[in-house]
Amino acid sequence: MPRRLAAALLATQLALVAPAAADHREGASDPGFHRKLVDVVLVRPFGLVPTLVAVVGCAAGLPVAWVMDTPVDARQTCLEDPLEFTFARPLGRL
């Protein structure tokens, strides 16, 4: 049980550090504590669900995209956009 708890804490810390680092890289103004708190507590966890749905949908629709010769568009729409919204977006930028 302690290993699971340690793994969960590590995953949580990594999920919080990556967006904060992205915020500092862009040199953007500080969106404020409340916006960051809402982003960390509500928006990002609920962003995981559409991300997982998009991954499954992309896996199901990728053969069709190959036939239509648009796999890059499908990958951008189904994978990169939801992943960027959930993980790479600067903290507090809704």
- In tens, the pLDDT along 61-75 reads 888 888 888 888 878
Type and span of the H or E element at 24: helix 2-26
Non-local (6+) Cβ contacts of 9 within 8 A are none
Per-residue burial over 37-52, b = 16 or more CB atoms within 10 Å of its CB, e = otherwise: eebbeebbeebeeebe
The pTM of the full predicted model, rounded to 2 decimals, is 0.54
The full set of domain ranges for the chain reads: 2-88
Distance CA 69, CA 13 (A): 40
What average pLDDT does range 37-47 have in this prediction?
A: 87
The DSSP output letter for 15 is H
